[in-house]
Amino acid sequence: MDIHEAIRGRRSVGRVKDDPVPPEWIEKILEAGNWAPCHHLTEPWRFFVMTGAGRDVLADAYADIAAEQSGQDDPEFRRKHAAKAYRAPVVIAVAVSPSADPRVTRIEEFAAAHAAVQNMLLTAHALGLGAIWRSGDPMYHPRMKQAFGLQPHEELVALVYLGFPVTAPPAGGRRPVADATVWLS
């Protein structure tokens, strides 16, 4: 697949089949993330691959956060929120572990981790997988950091859900690039 075709054709795909994703494909996706650009060659990303019962880590965190925020802790309520972890056969949590090097600007470490996620999404698309980059308030909750053993200076930047798409993704569209461009000559 041509890189321009991959960029223009990739879509967020939230509905995927339960079929397992070959481990070698997951490794290709991780390898693509690992080759993202980064300032000072810090490689600040960390990947947590969850499949099968490994998704329980995420499910428990989702349930705990929802129970804390709502004051509800009945089993059905917890089950509903835990189910978010099982929307795909593979979930990759991507974290940033910013370097303590004084030359490094913290926000650039986040930019590198985000670039890693984009590389992963493009690779998933090129392999014919559906993928979606999920985030939202629960991802930034201290309980989620605890679930993945993150240190205080580390943060989650993405939950990438992967699987074989249920249906073909819709065609996309963008405004003309000229509408977002200012040329300074």
pLDDT at 8: 84
Residue % of the chain over a pLDDT of 90: 86
CA pseudo-torsion sign 74, 80, 54, 35: negative
Q: Which of 154, 178, 127 is nearest to 48 (CA)?
A: 154
CA gyration radius, the chain: 18
User: What pLDDT digit, counting tens, does each position of 9-49 carry?
Assistant: 889 899 999 999 999 999 999 999 999 999 999 999 999 99
- State the average pLDDT over residues 125-130: 95
Which sequence spans correspond to the domains of the chain?
3-166
> Do the strands 130-134 and 90-96 form a parallel or antiparallel pair, or are they unpaired?
unpaired
Is the backbone of residue 136 left (phi > 0), alpha (psi -120 to 50) or beta? left
pLDDT at 32: 97
Q: 97: buried, middle or exposed (CB in 10 Å: 19+, 13-18, 0-12)?
A: middle
CA dihedral 25, 145, 13, 19 (to 10 degrees): 50
What number does CATH give the domain 3-166?
3.40.109.10
Strands (E), 44-84: 45-51
Other residues' Cβ atoms within 10 Å of the Cβ of residue 92: 23
- State the average pLDDT over residues 48-76: 95
Rounded to two decimals, the pTM is 0.94
Average pLDDT, the chain: 95
The whole-angstrom separation of Cα 90 and Cα 79 is 19
pLDDT at 177: 93
